[in-house]
Amino acid sequence: MRESRPIVALDFPSLEEVKSFLALFPTEEKLYVKIGMELYYAAGPEVVRYAKSLGHSVFLDLKLHDIPNTVKSAMAVLANLGVDMTNVHAAGGVEMMAAAREGLGDGPKLIAVTQLTSTSEEQMQDFQNIQTSLSESVVHYARKTAQAGLDGVVCSAHEVALIKDVTSNDFVCLTPGIRPAGSALGDQKRVMTPAAARAIGSDYIVVGRPITRAEDPVAAYRVIKDEWNGTC
């Protein structure tokens, strides 16, 4: 099911900067934000509580990967923080993913990272010693993620069709690497526009710098949101 709000990646180094950024938006505008490792390790659970206190939805992108029991306990803590979505590495295994689901409970969405998009096929074959194509490995992890009872995966927008084919149309595909036409790529390589991501069936898009570094972040957010919803 497609989420109408683009998820804004709050890639800031401190709670103060998050506060200044969120203060740009009218209080009635409820965002869906992504809090990643840098911000969470710097600002701690307080940053999640702060975003939730303003009524925003929170995707906590910590990519947990440990023994099942540890991941289960950690997920119970995150559930208490009130996160709306969080994630694990599928490479932790079906047992770990199922334990994560148990710890988090059924309310929040739980998704898995398959192969990081920074991993090339050559690196995967050489370093991880997986002798298939990268897309076969992604599809394999997606199937296992569905089997473990998770809601979906983080994936490149280019992999959405393949993943939905082997899971189901309801299996969530969350895609970063989104750039509106004409905006700076930064370090992203294989990018897609919000409209193209919608057309290929992404359920959630994550957008960071095109919004956070824009001269007018609120205007940039609205343009991207309209493009994502096909209303422009």
Strand partners, 117: none
Show the binding pattern over residues 190-229: x = contacts ligand C5P (CB under 6 A), - = does not. Answer: ----------------xxxx--------------------
92 forms part of the interface with ligand C5P (CB under 6 A):
no
Residue, CB closest to ligand C5P: 208
34-47 b/e (C-beta count within 10 Å ≥ 16 → b): bbbeebbeebebeb
Q: 164 near 171, Cβ under 8 Å?
A: yes
Of the residues 19, 52, 63, 144, only one is catalytic, namely 63
Show the binding pattern over residues 118-157: x = contacts ligand C5P (CB under 6 A), - = does not. Answer: ------------------------------------x---
* Given 6, 33, 36, 192, the residue binding ligand C5P (CB under 6 A): 36
Helix axes 94-104, 68-81, angle to 10 degrees: 30
Distance from C-alpha of 163 to C-alpha of 144, rounded to nearest angstrom: 11
Nearer residue to ligand C5P within complex by CB, 92 or 177: 177
Distance from C-alpha of 151 to C-alpha of 153, rounded to nearest angstrom: 7
- 63 annotated active-site: yes
What is the binding site for ligand C5P (CB under 6 A)?
9, 11, 36, 117, 154, 176-177, 186, 188, 206-209
